[in-house]
Structures are given as C-alpha cells and as structure tokens.
Amino acid sequence: SLQKTFVMIKPDGVKRKLVGEIIGRIERKGLDIIAMKLVKMSKEAAEKLYEEHKGKSFYQDLVSYITSGPVLCMVVAGDEAVAVMRKMIGATDPKEASPGTIRGDLALSKGENVIHASDSEEKAKKEMSIFFSDSEIIAG
Ligand code: CMP
C-alpha cells in the first residue's frame, strides 16, 4: 500500500557530495520525493529525532555528529515505501550492509553511515513532523 517515509542524508553524506548519487537511486527505484529541505539541525531537533537512543553509550556522539553540518531531509512516497527504503539503505553497520545497498556501497563507519530512513510508519510520521509542516509536503 502507498506509504510515506522520512529519509535524511546525514552530514557525512552531504560533506562527501553523495546527495546526487543517493537521490538518483531513490528516483531510479521509482519512489517519489514529495518534500525536501537542507537543514543544519538544532540540538533540540536532534534530541527529538534520536529520543529512543537517549542514555545509550553512543548518544552524545550521535547528537554532536548529526548537528555538525547540514543534512538533507526528504519525505519519500511509494508502494511500501518504509520497508523499501530500509532495504535500500542496508544494515545500520555499513560493514554488515549488503553490496548494492546505499550503506553497503558508500559507507564504512557505524557512527557515520550516510543515511537515515524511518523504521515504521508511526516513526515516519513523528520524524516528518520534526522537519516539515503539512503544507511543505506535496499532496498526491
Ligand atoms: P540510524 O539507525 O539512522 O539512527 C540511529 C543511529 O545511531 C544509527 O543510524 C547509527 O548512526 C547510530 N548508531 C547506532 N548504533 C551505534 C553504535 N553502536 N555506535 C555508534 N553509532 C551508533
């Protein structure tokens, strides 16, 4: 069924100029980009995005990394978009990610793994709302 998901190219992906490569993959897959924004994330936005990781050993590093430079935020729509995007980005640890996936092909470090995509429709709604108002998302 038709779903929307939140996708974000992380600071290392923007810095390494992988934006075109990654958007190209999303477009070639047949998914629709229905919102897009380049942002330097505030500490507050980072803490909201990574709420579930608060207290974990890597949390402070994660927040400082994600606020270290601009990220490219997108809303991506399509048939089963949540699972399809997760499959396309590959495992969290790029060393475990299959070749052919974005992390498998373009990243090596678990901390700096190029891209984020929501892991459920519920999280997608929450994450989209951190960065986009309803009017910024193009209606089908
Ligand atoms: P993501 O799944 O997009 O969101 C949570 C992020 O936390 C994850 O990507 C990694 O970048 C980061 N992360 C998860 N586990 C670790 C870890 N063990 N060490 C460092 N970073 C981690």
pLDDT digits (tens, 9 = 90+) for 85-115: 999 999 999 999 999 999 999 999 999 999 9
Which of 105-114's residues contact partners 24+ apart within 8 Å by CB, and which partners?
Answer: 106/13, 106/16, 106/18, 106/21, 106/22, 107/12, 109/12, 111/58, 111/61, 111/62, 111/65, 112/10, 112/11, 112/12, 112/65, 113/10, 113/12, 114/9, 114/10, 114/12, 114/13, 114/16, 114/18, 114/22
Total-model pTM: 0.96
Residue 5 annotated in ligand binding? no
Model pLDDT, residue 135: 97
For the Cβ of 58 lying below 6 angstroms from any atom of ligand 1, the answer is: yes
Residue 116 annotated as catalytic? yes
Residue 28 annotated in ligand binding? no
CATH code, 2-133? 3.30.70.141
The mean pLDDT value of the chain amounts to: 97
Q: Ligand 1 test: best mutation among 51, 56, 85, 113, most atoms within 8 Å of CB?
A: 113
ipTM greater than cut 0.85 = yes
Residue 140 has pLDDT above 90, yes or no: no
Residue 11 has pLDDT above 80, yes or no: yes
